[in-house]
Structure 1
């Protein structure tokens, strides 16, 4: 008996995956739960295990193909069957068409797109979906007044019982009486696969475009006032991709089938071609200030000895996410130099016993994580998200940890980090980093982050200008922790030069909702907690 292997759905908003590598060949034996192939989605790279033991008899898609979820990609026969006679040529030949998708579109081979082009068939890539904000979300967050409170630093760091942060969040009492939004929230106005359109029957093409577009695409469309149902998508089954929505916004065109509401009849404006940025559209829903074109300066053609490589799936997604973040958030940077001497002494004092008791190394990062979560509880605007003119204050503090990989990076998430001790944070961070490098992360371990910490200092960098991980509103970069000569003062006020363990902390924040004063208070409070060094190991 044969077992069909399908492209798994690696998350609620994931509609497709790209096969990056086959780990078995046709005719080879495979055991149940043994890794069969590797895939890349817009959330995670993962090894997919075989659902049954037997012989791999057929491979329907080759490496680089992008396949919709639940489409059969391979067949595993039981041991008695052996490989089908035609199977050995399956890998070399073109992929066998899978069961037709709703629109009859064939799978897309993204890896064959020429460098420097924007292939219409490229799959949509979505950042972690922005949740639907509750109706009780305040329009603005109260800013703490006066100087940063330096009082009970130890209590502020170690306090987790009762989750006192819940009471500090604006709108907490109102939220307790309201029905909570889903954890994986979808942008308001979005339609799911089981959308209620009043028909109760087959969905229209417009419904399908809306339902099959990613939450990120729907959010971009909402922020720019674009009706996504009027766009012709180039993705699978007519799906509107991120490239589609960004290209439309840049061109200032009118959606297909949409009727201009103002001044369209007054002036029969000519068809606007995408290249000329100086032509103003007659009446559109796009913003007045257009973004620059995707390739303002065309790349020079490759010369003799040049090497041309097609971007990997991960690199392409990183590139798209970075561009979207720069267009979405008003990035501002502030940098503090923090004295980590007391943390260094505390770590040196406990690291041997810590590793013996927990089985994991004690680094500087758990102390930084705990200080950051304490600062977030004090300044909850840093644990929020923006949707249109609404701000959603997230209850849980889910810390993203940027992990460098060969040819890219990924950001696994420590869920409810403010509930964890130093040991718990160390175990969680090391486990996620190890499994990220081994491509063993689960989709829910790379989604739902509310604040990100990146550590370029591990490579020796003093500080950088990190880009915010959408839909978050801030990211903290930790520079190299090293000894430097500093002027310090004793209790009597006498100043002298001493060797101290120092590091630069760079905070990028979204100036749309976070003022500079609040950013200074947030990072200043983090500095005070770390320099006090009152942590329980």
Structure 2
């Protein structure tokens, strides 16, 4: 028996009430498998895919490319063979996978159907049997019976981590692995593919890669005139809207300070090769900068605040937003509880967020909760910048390019490695005195790094 199922725009996050359809991956008449992406959407924070919650055939597309869609609005209709094949409410509350996301493989044994867990007493807000498409996809690939997995999410909901932990515990054999297994290593975790090392720039002290060039999405010639049009992409439109809100509502002011990072350069040069071999990621200057910043915020917590009309809200958690540039946009993923991480931990977080940001694999969870922003503008040679504050934060701090300059020390001239740090501030909350002291503390922290500084 055939039936029609509506797929609705899911609720992506508590603070988001709508999203824009970027493009449809399926067209009317196409067959669709369960969990298969049907379209790409754009929010103010990340790009994401909406997966199908049923098997069937796409009958009708209700929302066109470029249209803004409120949460809960039907976006397409899928014809299914079973009248009970899917529920439209599941899609509205499902977690959305980022574009290009991949899922790990944890083995290659065949699955066995174990008896489900004993029924538990229902509780208020019970969500134990509400599974997101991401959870269902992993369970299908790994051969996991979700009835056996105890959920740790809200209302007892099963999360991705719960499924992966269940697989790792060995309580149920695993199926669905795509990697080939040998008789002697049936349960071995597949080795990570070897990625060839990319060439990096050699000019400058901390340029790590060639700057990416924006790609023109679409253009049209104007007859008889020496110019052309470039269509505004949904991401660029979202950036324009957010930047306008920031500069309209926040009275920006800014200041700059010089930092002598000669000792830091020597320290990094000493440790970077060993760190790369040990951790598999680059030891960048930004990790040291973040450590200096969070230690300064502890001394001046008002920096970590937001304006709330009749009060100032000071955040206890120090969550640093990083500005990560892609070909045509800038994302600001967040390092949560940055003050609780050592330099090595910060370096790992920076590498992970920057890589996934460039690959378009950031999730909504990666983007929320930032309390202040740090931007490594020196990575492309800038020596002075005036950053826009990420609304509703109070500051945006940039670390500029490290350059060798002659300086006077004890009435003698020496060559030192110098970098500028520029701070944009919300003048409703902060004034020059407190920000000047904050920058001085950051400077002291950076200049206190020595050849004996430990990363762990």
TM-score in terms of structure 2 length: 0.64
> Do 1:47 and 1:440's aligned partners in 2 also have CA atoms closer than 8 Å?
no
User: Residue in 1 aligned with 2:440?
Assistant: 524
1:488, distance to aligned residue in structure 2 (A): 4.5
Distance 1:302 1:391 in 2: 54
Instruction: Check if 1:480 corresponds to 2:401.
Output: yes
In structure 2, relative to structure 1, the CA distance for the partners of 1:536 and 1:34 (3 Å cut) is farther
1:411, distance to aligned residue in structure 2 (A): 0.9
Question: Secondary structure at 1:316's aligned position in 2?
Answer: helix
Q: Which runs of structure 2 are paired with 1:375-454 in the superposition (5 Å)?
A: 375-454=296-375
1:507, distance to aligned residue in structure 2 (A): 0.5
In structure 2, relative to structure 1, the CA distance for the partners of 1:363 and 1:80 (3 Å cut) is same
1:478, distance to aligned residue in structure 2 (A): 1.5
Aligned mate of 1:38, from 37, 40, 52: 40
Deviations 1:477-504 (A, max 9, x none): 121123x122243xxx462322x32211
Instruction: Check if 1:496 corresponds to 2:413.
Output: yes
User: Residue in 2 aligned with 1:313?
Assistant: 234
Aligned mate of 2:66, from 59, 64, 67: 64
User: Residue in 2 aligned with 1:6?
Assistant: 8
Distance 2:392 2:234 in 1: 21
In structure 2, relative to structure 1, the CA distance for the partners of 1:526 and 1:76 (3 Å cut) is same
Deviations 1:21-59 (A, max 9, x none): 222334445444443321112232223333345544433
Aligned mate of 1:332, from 229, 239, 253: 253
1:368, distance to aligned residue in structure 2 (A): 0.7
Distance 1:450 1:471 in 2: 8
Distance 1:470 1:384 in 2: 11
> Do 1:24 and 1:36's aligned partners in 2 also have CA atoms closer than 8 Å?
yes
Q: Which runs of structure 2 are paired with 1:109-148 in the superposition (5 Å)?
A: none
> Do 1:400 and 1:451's aligned partners in 2 also have CA atoms closer than 8 Å?
yes
Distance 1:50 1:387 in 2: 40
User: Residue in 2 aligned with 1:25?
Assistant: 27
Q: Which runs of structure 2 are paired with 1:268-283 in the superposition (5 Å)?
A: none
In structure 2, relative to structure 1, the CA distance for the partners of 1:334 and 1:19 (3 Å cut) is same
In structure 2, relative to structure 1, the CA distance for the partners of 1:346 and 1:51 (3 Å cut) is farther
Aligned mate of 1:470, from 371, 391, 400: 391
In structure 2, runs of 5+ residues without a counterpart are 90-221
User: Residue in 2 aligned with 1:509?
Assistant: 425
In structure 2, relative to structure 1, the CA distance for the partners of 1:430 and 1:52 (3 Å cut) is farther
User: Residue in 2 aligned with 1:170?
Assistant: none
Instruction: Tell me the number of residue pairs that the alignment of Structure 1 and Structure 2 aligns.
Output: 315
Distance 2:351 2:8 in 1: 31
> Do 1:3 and 1:51's aligned partners in 2 also have CA atoms closer than 8 Å?
no
User: Residue in 2 aligned with 1:208?
Assistant: none
Distance 1:71 1:507 in 2: 42
User: Residue in 1 aligned with 2:203?
Assistant: none
> Do 1:412 and 1:447's aligned partners in 2 also have CA atoms closer than 8 Å?
yes
Distance 2:363 2:248 in 1: 29
Deviations 1:361-406 (A, max 9, x none): 1111111111110011100110011111311110100100011122
User: Residue in 2 aligned with 1:16?
Assistant: 18
> Do 1:400 and 1:413's aligned partners in 2 also have CA atoms closer than 8 Å?
yes
Question: Secondary structure at 2:256's aligned position in 1?
Answer: strand
Deviations 1:440-495 (A, max 9, x none): 2222321221100112222211121111111111110121123x122243xxx462
In structure 2, relative to structure 1, the CA distance for the partners of 1:442 and 1:527 (3 Å cut) is same
1:13, distance to aligned residue in structure 2 (A): 2.2
1:329, distance to aligned residue in structure 2 (A): 2.1
Question: Secondary structure at 1:308's aligned position in 2?
Answer: strand
Distance 2:329 2:296 in 1: 30
> Do 2:20 and 2:69's aligned partners in 1 also have CA atoms closer than 8 Å?
yes
Question: Secondary structure at 2:374's aligned position in 1?
Answer: strand
Question: Secondary structure at 1:48's aligned position in 2?
Answer: strand
In structure 2, relative to structure 1, the CA distance for the partners of 1:426 and 1:307 (3 Å cut) is same
User: Residue in 1 aligned with 2:94?
Assistant: none
TM-score in terms of structure 1 length: 0.54
Deviations 1:73-95 (A, max 9, x none): 234456999xxxxxxxxxxxxxx
Distance 1:79 1:536 in 2: 62
Question: Secondary structure at 2:318's aligned position in 1?
Answer: coil
Q: Which runs of structure 2 are paired with 1:63-462 in the superposition (5 Å)?
A: 63-77=65-79, 304-462=225-383
Question: Secondary structure at 2:378's aligned position in 1?
Answer: helix
User: Residue in 2 aligned with 1:179?
Assistant: none
> Do 1:29 and 1:56's aligned partners in 2 also have CA atoms closer than 8 Å?
yes
> Do 2:44 and 2:239's aligned partners in 1 also have CA atoms closer than 8 Å?
no
1:513, distance to aligned residue in structure 2 (A): 2.0
1:341, distance to aligned residue in structure 2 (A): 1.9
> Do 2:405 and 2:418's aligned partners in 1 also have CA atoms closer than 8 Å?
no
In structure 2, relative to structure 1, the CA distance for the partners of 1:525 and 1:80 (3 Å cut) is same
Question: Secondary structure at 1:461's aligned position in 2?
Answer: coil
